[in-house]
Structure 1
Amino acid sequence: MTAAEVCAAMEAGFRAAFPAARFVRVPMADGGEGTLRSLVDARAGRIERVTVTGPLGRPVEAELGLLPDGVAVVEMASASGLGLVPPFERDPRVTTTRGTGELVLAALERGVRSLILAIGGSATNDAGAGFAQALGFKLLDAEGRELPSGGAALARLHRIDASGADPRLAGLAINVACDVDNPLCGPAGASAVYGPQKGASPGVVAELDAALAHFAIVVRRDLGRDVAGVPGSGAAGGLGAGLLAFTDAELRRGVQIVIDEARLVDAVAGADLVVTGEGRVDGQTRRGKTPFGVAQIARAAGVPVIAVAGCLGDGADTLADVFGAVIPIVDRLAPLDEVLAAGPVNVERTCREVGRLLRLGGFGR
């Protein structure tokens, strides 16, 4: 379910208990997949489809979000995401972020001066090399030839030529929605932590980690920017580092960007109840996930908050200081595909029953 679909199901359930209430829907996300759709839904924007280079070099149809105030939204997963690569073709030595750079070019061509870039769900480990090449940077080997796509090629990076970079980048404000704080290299870096899920064997992880370390050295020498140790530089296969190297981007917590852009603080002011949720509420929810960000805003406004979850995981019982209650929606044991298909019904039913309990307690009278 998209965030907007969850909001609609929640409202339908609670409206059965409180038919005269006023409901305000604010679709939310935290910088991962779904961020573009949430922002477009929350701000009444629009989506345009753009053909770009996919992570394996084949054309893909990606989405570009355009908000009413001239802000563009780019979701990396739409152009360079792991979901675009079949499991048997996953190889972060060769996958590229070029398509994400091409989406930024498309935004520039539409005259935007501010960009939100959500970088979750990548299939890549190239430190934004393809992104930079799409925007006019030249990444050259010792013989002056342009590097091919992929993270492994960065081991041969000799020089970065920024003379052909798109001049419009200089005036583009880029807010990067990033929900991890990994450095570029090392045991907590991009290759070691996220490389295996992208198809990297232990040997390939070591190869890519060394290539990224070399990339950081060349960036510091040629661009004067030290990116390796910055928290979040290892996000999206090192795209976090690439954005810091090639643009004036700012890495921010994804949920905070969405909170700001969706005007959540204004929506919560004066509310009697806030309801939020995610697929699984567990101990990780506290680490910058959407429901935690929403709960912080609600609590600051003195509004009680309930979380509705697809299921509960380890550590969910430690969140009593975050939510007034956490309610799972699944009503019976069933195969995963059945549970997913029943999501709208389960959300609506759960919120209806929560609403009835609240009425029993005198809420809303």
Structure 2
Amino acid sequence: MNLLFASDSFKGSLSSDDTARLLTRAAEEVFPGCTVKSLPMADGGEGTAEAVIRARGGERVEVPVHGPLMEDETAFYGRLSGDEAIFEMASASGLPLLAEDERDPLKTTTYGTGELFRVALDSGASKITMAIGGSATNDGGMGFARALGIRFLDVDGRELEGRGEELEKVADIDTSGLDPRIRDVSVAVMCDVTNPLCGPDGATMTFGGQKGGSPEVLDRLEKGMINYRNAMIRRFGVDPDSIPGSGAAGGLGAALSVFLGAEMRSGIDTVLDLVGFDSYLEDTDLVVTGEGRTDWQSCCGKVLQGVGDRAKKHGVPAVALCGSLGPGYEAIYDHGIQSLMTTVDAPMMLSQALENAEPLYYKAAIRLFRMIKAAK
């Protein structure tokens, strides 16, 4: 019996590595002598860089950067090979870096993410993958671009720092100082949202509230973002609103697309490609995946969908062990997941399930493998 374990983390309880360890223990109990392979999984959100670094045997490199409010922070990137690097913008410019009363999209900046990108360039990377979820920013990516040499100027020719409150002041964009190494770098961006830069579905109105923006602040930021978009159109002849995902990460998606020519990609597909997932399916009899909660959203670029689709393509059966099921979970059956089992074994409060996550998961894994053994 050749098994491949590729589960997402269970937020607040089990890591992807924890699930692999528990699945391995259960599988060896039910199928003595089985062959086990495991891959840490993530879908482009929090923990993606760590998962890919471990799967590829890469090096985690910590670097000093400026955080969302230009405070001193320590971020990290992954050196995967001589010319490949990966990092998460949240490491430098993420919402978790701020206390709730510090969240202010007028003041926050992506400058630290640009610093992290520059350090990856310094390491010799020419293929850079970025995950851009979890941002604390709404600066249109100005801070990021400024760290790489782009200057944003007001009507008097004064350079702006690159914060959300300055979007309304952008009159011109000077790219003459852009780091020349950018020309020789391919940038892939893990992004599963298609929001435009401006408008009711744009960066500010969709995500700005969770970053601390009041209705009055969001109105000001939206007007500023429209001004910023118009400056981009004048300078580059490109309307960022026509680029799916330009509104991701408070508009960082627009800066990456317009200034760097980055490619927006599905997070889970990018992860699967980076770790060489398809090659692990060779000679595999069964894939076991999973996540904390499975519902209709699991079919929208999440781990179960990505793993299931790849397994289905290669004719390998896949099953999932999940914390719970929600509305619309059945849709995942169309993506190669042939059966689902939950970890809970009795009615219980969420706090109980989280507190006992490890024994519940292990016992569920035993049930899963015994069911498979009976079927065989």
Give the aligned partner of residue 242 of structure 2: 229
Q: How does 1:207-356 map to 2 (within 5 A)?
A: 207-322=220-335, 323-332=337-346, 336=350, 339-356=353-370
Whole-angstrom distance in 2 between the partners of 1:205 and 1:10: 46
- Quick check: 1:15–1:352 contact (8 Å CA) kept in 2? no
Q: How does 1:47-86 map to 2 (within 5 A)?
A: 47-86=60-99
Amino acid at match of 1:226: D
Q: Cα deviation per residue 1:32-72 (whole Å; 9 max; x = unaligned)?
A: 11110110111111101111010111011111111035310
Q: Does 183-192 or 334-343 show the bigger shift?
A: 334-343
CA RMSD of aligned residues (A): 1.6
Corresponding position: 1:170 with 2:188: no
Give the aligned partner of residue 200 of structure 2: 187
Whole-angstrom distance in 1 between the partners of 2:77 and 2:355: 27
* 1:221, distance to aligned residue in structure 2 (A): 1.5
Amino acid at match of 2:370: R
Provide closer, same or farther for how the CA distance between residues 335 and 61 of structure 1 changes in structure 2, counting only shifts above 3 A.
farther
Q: Does 77-86 or 343-352 show the bigger shift?
A: 343-352
Instruction: Give the share of equivalent positions with the same residue, in percent.
Output: 41
- Quick check: 2:82–2:124 contact (8 Å CA) kept in 1? no
- Quick check: 1:141–1:158 contact (8 Å CA) kept in 2? yes
- Quick check: 1:54–1:60 contact (8 Å CA) kept in 2? yes
Q: How does 1:126-205 map to 2 (within 5 A)?
A: 126-205=139-218
Amino acid at match of 2:70: G
SS at match of 1:183: coil
Whole-angstrom distance in 1 between the partners of 2:304 and 2:200: 29
Q: Does 223-232 or 88-97 show the bigger shift?
A: 223-232
Amino acid at match of 2:171: H
* 1:12, distance to aligned residue in structure 2 (A): 2.0
Corresponding position: 1:30 with 2:39: no
Whole-angstrom distance in 2 between the partners of 1:49 and 1:334: 40
- Quick check: 2:44–2:267 contact (8 Å CA) kept in 1? yes
* 1:314, distance to aligned residue in structure 2 (A): 1.6
Residue of 338, 357, 360 corresponding to 2:371 = 357
Q: Does 44-53 or 205-214 show the bigger shift?
A: 205-214
Give the aligned partner of residue 4 of structure 2: none
SS at match of 2:242: coil
Whole-angstrom distance in 2 between the partners of 1:123 and 1:334: 34
Whole-angstrom distance in 1 between the partners of 2:207 and 2:233: 24
SS at match of 2:290: strand
* 1:194, distance to aligned residue in structure 2 (A): 0.9
Corresponding position: 1:116 with 2:144: no
SS at match of 2:367: helix
- Quick check: 2:42–2:268 contact (8 Å CA) kept in 1? yes
* 1:163, distance to aligned residue in structure 2 (A): 1.2
Give the aligned partner of residue 5 of structure 2: none
SS at match of 1:120: coil
- Quick check: 1:51–1:59 contact (8 Å CA) kept in 2? yes
Residue of 2, 6, 13 corresponding to 2:26 = 13
- Quick check: 2:139–2:250 contact (8 Å CA) kept in 1? yes
- Quick check: 2:82–2:125 contact (8 Å CA) kept in 1? no
Q: Does 62-71 or 50-59 show the bigger shift?
A: 62-71
SS at match of 1:47: strand
When normalised by structure 2's length, the TM-score is 0.92
Corresponding position: 1:40 with 2:21: no
Whole-angstrom distance in 2 between the partners of 1:343 and 1:167: 50
Amino acid at match of 1:361: A
- Quick check: 1:4–1:41 contact (8 Å CA) kept in 2? no
Q: Which runs of 5+ in 2 are unaligned?
A: 1-13
SS at match of 1:142: coil
Q: Does 214-223 or 143-152 show the bigger shift?
A: 143-152
Q: Cα deviation per residue 1:131-158 (whole Å; 9 max; x = unaligned)?
A: 0011111111112222234222111101
- Quick check: 2:152–2:162 contact (8 Å CA) kept in 1? no
Whole-angstrom distance in 1 between the partners of 2:284 and 2:211: 43
Amino acid at match of 1:173: S
When normalised by structure 1's length, the TM-score is 0.95
SS at match of 1:228: helix
Provide closer, same or farther for how the CA distance between residues 313 and 69 of structure 1 changes in structure 2, counting only shifts above 3 A.
farther
Q: Cα deviation per residue 1:250-286 (whole Å; 9 max; x = unaligned)?
A: 1111111111111111111221111111221110111
Provide closer, same or farther for how the CA distance between residues 345 and 70 of structure 1 changes in structure 2, counting only shifts above 3 A.
farther
Q: Does 20-29 or 127-136 show the bigger shift?
A: 20-29
* 1:335, distance to aligned residue in structure 2 (A): 5.6
* 1:74, distance to aligned residue in structure 2 (A): 1.2
Amino acid at match of 2:154: D
Q: Which runs of 5+ in 1 are unaligned?
A: none
